[in-house]
Structure 1
Amino acid sequence: MLIQFKFALCLFLAASCVAMPQLANAAYSPTKNQHAFLQELSLRSFRFFWEQANPENGLIPDQADADGKGHSKVASIAAVGFGLTAYCIADERQWESHEALKQRTLTTLRFFANEAETEHGFFYHFLDMKTGKRAWDCELSSVDTALLLAGVLTAREHFENKEIKELATRIYNRIDWKWMQNGKKTLTMGWKPEKGFLSARWSHYNELMLIYILAMGSPTHPIEPDAWDAWSRNKIIKYGKYTFIECPPLFTHQYSHAWIDFENKRDDYANYWANSRLATLAQQQFSVDLAKRFPLYTKYMWGLTAAAGENGYMVWGGPPETVSPPVDGSIVPCAPGGSIPFAPETCIPTLYNMYKKHKAKAWKRYGFVDSFNPHTKWYADKVLGIDVGITLLMIENQNDRFVWNVFQKNLEIKQAMSLANFRKITPSEKRHNRTNSIFFKKAGLRDLSQSQRPIAQAHWSEDHIVGKRDWQTMVLNGEGISQFAFTWNTEELVFHAKLTGMKLRNKYPATQLFNDDCIELFIDPQNNGLRWQNKEDWQIGFAPPNRSYEWFRKRKSFSASIITGKDKRGFTVRCAIKWKDLGIKPRKGLKLGVSPVVNQTSVKDAGKTEWHFKENAKSVELGILRLIK
């Protein structure tokens, strides 16, 4: 008889009756309501994998409707890896019958062992949900094969079933990791039958540790242990009091840890558990520091990582702040969700705060929607399998280390960890790791102050077309949202802006636009600090109906188009400036100082919203615009 799901809010009312498992991180104990909420979130996350999988072959969709009414036609093999692990969790928690979970696992493993297309044991990133054939022209993926394999090996150790163990072992043993190195020490990211190996390699710190541990531990086609030393760890930053190896999207600090227990361990270079904790705490502080631009970011309302955003799949992160796509005020719940074991004292209250404040639109059948933007009141209607998965696994690891304990039973993993020279940290090393995860000396440490200048990118476009992901967002001090972008070609730089949701006052002539509701653009072409009335710098104002003015030299060497919105609550701007008038020659990599500013007459004492406008003794520091091609 199937054990029925219980997803009612009465779970919260009955929180005092819930028995709490032993926490992995005893430094923080969630409240009874928080604990009941986490149980609910875990259960709903499992429901995604159970309901959305194809029962005929075990494939799990890359994404599905948050309300459970439909899913994509394409499966993600990484989602399958999370799903296989979810079945083990559900068996342990008795969320579904043991027999049903075992049979679903067998169906999945039989497909990948006997039917799925492979090359040297590796699988294609995306598969057709029904046929199991390669979707689109996707790559044979080393990282997604590793994420799948992590779930396969978790199932091998959890289920006491001969066929499961045999199928899982066969899938692992036939993977030719040396082939994926393609003659070098580092592993390539993938291969395509049409073009061969991808040029990109797993050569810099990110989610790569799981891949290398699996490859080094292979009983049939292992790579040499010196491959562990071949990838670089040199992108070290200091943000506030935290020093760590950076990689802005938070998922890169989480995926390897979902299965491998790195806590209280180090290799010759770092404590990677501490590194993920410091990256998480730094992102929390970074988000608070962004509150001037995004006022709804707070100590317990933050989360930047890869997700389904309003303009497609976005890879947000920080610190350092991602530039393409730029941070736009969105929040991704799986960012704190995937970091729960590292920093439960911030991640659990953050998730619970999201639930309390946004449950009406952000809380659905499978838990949280993939992302939402409280500043624009936009909420995704999808969930991604890998985002649901990392949240589920990390909640359960925090509960009682379940996934870590099961996965660590694989002898191949223990051997690989030994080959990478992992050992327990000492008490003094643990004290060091409170603020610094690094154990080697590295010159050129980047100290990112909390007032770091934001960067926007101007994309090359002969026709000055702006891509959906290129817009920077400014949340105004009053009502409304402003967005801006830049494009360039050999002749001119073009500023694009749009203002929405703001009632406009248009009263003064162009020479006095600053007294009206308007958009201003400050430009420091030499990027050496804007100075008032300096002949090299620019201050241009824009307002409907088609009014524009440049104040510093009263220049007219620009063309501007200003169009009022149909609802009279906003307008758009397109301003083209010749490079010769800016006094510089354009080139890829060139940096200018810029800052759009929005004036709102309805807001007293705080009527100017600035992208970055920091006044010093002799000049004004603007944000950075970088030309890319």
Structure 2
Amino acid sequence: MKKILLAAAGVLFVIASAVAQKKALQTTSVPFASAKDAALFTEVQRATFQYFWNGAEPTSGLARERFHADNVYPQNDKHVVTSGGGGFGVMAILVGIERKFITREEGLKRLEKIVGFLETADRFHGAWPHWWNGETGKVKPFSKKDDGGDLVESSFMLQGLLCVRQYFQQGNTEEKALAARIDKLWREVEFDWYTNNKNVLYWHWSPNYGWEMNFPVKGYNECLIMYVLAASSPTHGVAPAVYHEGWAQNGKINEQPDGYDGIQLQLHYQGDNKTSGPLFWSHYSYLGLDPRGLKDKYADYWKETTGHAQIHYRWAVNNPKKYKGYGPDNWGMTSSYSIKGYAGHAPSMEHDLGVISPTAALSSFPYTPKESMAAMKNWYFNKKDKLWGEFGFYDAFSETANWYKPHYLAIDQGPIVVMMENYRSGLLWNLFMSCPEVQTGLTKLGFTSPHIK
């Protein structure tokens, strides 16, 4: 009987996912249940956006890697900026313009500063490092041998920059000039170099240590966007075999797919979670890459991302480890701050540490609108005194451990602003998917999408 119920639940989920996908493609402006809900939604976007505006490092204009409102830092790193989180930040600036948190002119000036920094800061075969000193543009090693190009983080930056290019390319003289500068940066990234002469993309290359980090990127995880951009590059593109043999591992990406509670995923998530990975895997690559109707021979990506979010929701509702507070209005795990440092939280007995990360549910608004709204309301109206600060919800918390810290991370704040806007209007999805190179690259890899003309 249990197997029959689980199978029925899986069928219902597939049907609901297909209906939601069709509705999402037809909708340009999402209606809210009430004016109060709409106001809260905007307030969360506005406050979180300020991380990338008032909270930015002043010399570069880029997002700081982290910000601790209690001024307790693991190191003196208020000047450290991040390429990946900064890429999320430039997308957030576009949201700020559209939502009138700032003027178009203010946004343009800040983006000109950021692009100026990117043009002169350290690059390695066109790719940026994970971290820089925002005051000097010099690389700050992420670890001893991670002191060169980081192609994954650079891809997150490029995803954002291409949205900016599309947003301004038909504008006035200054806006067109910015779009042209971004286009030049995009064309200078040597994706083909980062294959290391193999049919796979490598995460890192160092001028001091070469390929010693030895991290060929294989799926499934957060890095799909890197392969899409590598195939899309008009100057340093890679062959389809790099995607199919490297990322998809000649089809092994479909072997032993993950799943939980009647939801069967299509892909195997790298790691030992067995159910699915941390939720940022359904956010980072999809800030610009629209999963609605996106398919290739390995997956239906709308089904995959919505299923992934639903697994996190159901895990919290079932609460197998009996943590305090878990439930339908308090859910979502990702890689974030944790009770002891930083951890990759995920729905498994090993990786569920009793820590909820607001970015997980909030950035899943396109996939789980009702469930995400319930969590947002609970946190804002019932727990605001413990969870809310000048840049919106704090990075993570644990009711079980009575652990609440006023700490923020760029890579977690950015997806909140962007994915909430994608749910609301599809802004960043429409911008990124309008790139002709991206449409060509996706077609080259065998993808189909309603955006591809």
**TM-score tier (shorter):** 0.7 to 0.9
Change (3 A) 1:393 1:61: same
290-299 or 399-408, which deviates more: 290-299
- Letter aligned with residue 345 of structure 1: K
SS at match of 1:121: coil
Secondary structure, aligned partner of 1:52: coil
The structure whose RCO (Cα within 8 Å, separation 6+) is larger is: 2
Post-superposition Cα deviations, 1:509-545, rounded to whole Å, max 9, x if no partner, equal xxxxxxxxxxxxxxxxxxxxxxxxxxxxxxxxxxxxx
Are 1:170 and 2:217 an aligned pair?
A: no
In structure 2, relative to structure 1, the CA distance for the partners of 1:143 and 1:292 (3 Å cut) is: closer
**Does the 8 Å contact 2:62/2:89 carry over to 1?**
no
Alignment of 1:316 with 2:321, yes or no, is: no
Give, in whole Å, the separation in 2 of the partners of 1:67 and 1:219.
46
Alignment equivalent of 1:226, drawn from 232, 241, 246:
241
> What is the number of residues matched between the two proteins?
398
* Cα shift at 1:237: 2.1
Shift of 1:292: 4.8
Kindly state the Cα deviation for residue 333 of structure 1 after the two structures are TM-superposed.
0.2
Tell me by how many angstroms 1:346 deviates: 1.2
Out of 67, 75, 90, the residue aligned to residue 84 of structure 1 is 90
CA contact (8 A) 1:337 1:395 kept: yes
Q: Contact between 1:61 and 1:72, CA under 8 Å: does it hold in 2? A: yes
- CA shift digits 1:60-111 (9 cap, x unpaired): 2101124799972311111211111111111122211222211111111112
The answer to whether residue 237 in structure 2 is matched with residue 208 in structure 1 is no
> In the alignment, is the contact (CA less than 8 A) between 2:132 and 2:138 conserved in 1?
yes
- Aligned equivalent of 2:121: 116
In structure 2, what is the Cα distance between the partners aligned to 1:239 and 1:300?
19
CA distance in 1, matches of 2:192, 2:372: 39
Q: Name the structure 1 match of 2:18.
A: none
Whether the 8 Å CA contact 2:127–2:150 is kept in 1: the answer is: yes
> In the alignment, is residue 156 of structure 1 matched against residue 185 of structure 2?
no
Classify the secondary structure of the residue corresponding to 2:132: strand
| Letter in structure 2 aligned against 1:107 | K
Alpha carbon RMSD of aligned pairs, Å? 2.1
- 1:116-195 alignment runs, 5 A limit: 116-136=121-141, 137=144, 138-139=146-147, 140-159=149-168, 160=171, 161-195=175-209
Match of 2:330 in 1: 301
Secondary structure of the structure 2 residue equivalent to 1:146: helix
Does residue 75 (structure 1) correspond to residue 81 (structure 2)? The answer is yes
Which range is displaced more, 291-300 or 82-91? 291-300
Checking the alignment, whether the CA contact within 8 Å between 1:157 and 1:409 is kept in structure 2 is: yes
Deviation at 1:168, TM superposition (A): 0.4
Secondary structure, counterpart of 2:371 in structure 1: helix
Partner AA of 1:316 in structure 2: H
Question: Aligned-pair distance for 1:357?
Answer: 2.1
Specify the alignment match of 1:516 in structure 2.
none
On the 8 A contact 2:57/2:79 being kept in 1, the answer is no
Correspondence list, 1:546-565, <5 A = none
CA contact (8 A) 1:304 1:331 kept: yes
| Structure 1: runs of 5 or more not aligned | 1-21, 426-629
2:53 counterpart SS class: helix
Which aligned pairs between 1:30-109 and structure 2 lie closer than 5 A? 30-66=33-69, 72-109=78-115
Question: Secondary structure of the equivalent of 2:51?
Answer: helix
| 1:307 alignment partner, SS class | strand
* Higher-Rg member (1/2): 1
Paired position in structure 1 for 2:311: 282
Identity %: 26
Separation of aligned partners in 2, 1:349 and 1:25: 20
Which amino acid letter does the alignment assign opposite residue 339 of structure 2?
Answer: E
Q: Is the Cα–Cα contact under 8 Å of residues 307 and 332 in structure 1 kept in the other structure?
A: yes
Give the whole-Å Cα distance in 1 for the aligned partners of 2:128 and 2:321: 45
Q: Deviation string for 1:319-338 (max 9, x for gaps)?
A: x44x3xx4221110000111
1:388–1:23: structure 2 CA closer, same or farther, 3 Å change rule? farther
AA in 2 matched with 1:258: L
> After the TM superposition, which residues 370-409 of structure 1 pair with which residues of structure 2 at under 5 Å, given as runs?
370-409=395-434
Secondary structure (helix, strand or coil) at the match of 1:265 reads: coil
Report the Cα distance in structure 2 between the residues aligned to 1:409 and 1:162, rounded to whole angstroms: 17
How far 1:35 moved relative to its partner?
2.1
In the alignment, is the contact (CA less than 8 A) between 2:357 and 2:396 conserved in 1? yes
Deviation at 1:226, TM superposition (A): 2.4
Going from structure 1 to structure 2, the CA distance change for 1:179 and 1:404 (only over 3 Å counts) comes to same
Tell me how far apart the structure 2 counterparts of residues 25 and 186 of structure 1 sit (CA, whole Å). Answer: 39
Please name the residue that 1:442 is paired with. Answer: none
Q: How far off its partner does 1:376 sit?
A: 1.8
Question: How has the CA–CA distance of structure 1 residues 401 and 393 changed in structure 2, closer, same or farther, with 3 Å as cutoff?
Answer: same
Aligned CA distance change for structure 1 residues 315 and 24 (closer, same or farther; 3 Å):
farther
Relative distance call for 1:202 and 1:304 in structure 2 (3 A) is same
2:256, 2:78 → 1: CA distance? 36
| Greater share of residues in helix | 2
Q: Is the 8 A contact 1:24 1:341 kept in 2?
A: no
- Please give the alpha-carbon distance, in whole angstroms, between the structure 1 residues aligned to 2:83 and 2:294: 29
Asked if the contact 1:242/1:282 (under 8 Å) is kept, the reply is yes
Alignment partners' CA distance in 2, 1:296 and 1:74: 35
* Match of residue 327, structure 1, among 352, 357, 366: 352
Offset, 1:420:
2.0
| Shift of residue 261, structure 1, vs aligned partner | 0.9
Specify the alignment match of 1:252 in structure 2.
281
Distance 1:298 1:39 in 2: 24
Distance in structure 1 (CA, Å) of the matches to 2:295 and 2:386: 42
The alpha carbon displacement at 1:24 in A equals 5.7
Partner amino acid, structure 1, of 2:187: N
Separation of aligned partners in 1, 2:406 and 2:382: 18
- Contact 1:46-1:392 at 8 Å conserved across structures: yes
SS in 1 for 2:52: helix
3-state SS of the aligned residue for 2:136?
A: coil
CA contact 1:24–1:398 (8 Å) conserved in 2: no
Residues 295, 449 of structure 2: 8 Å contact kept: yes
Letter in 1 for 2:258: I
Counterpart mapping for 1:536-615 below 5 A: none
Contact 2:65/2:81 (<8 A) preserved: yes
- Between Structure 1 and Structure 2, the one with more strand by share is 1
Provide the rounded CA distance (Å) in 1 between the counterparts of 2:197 and 2:292: 33
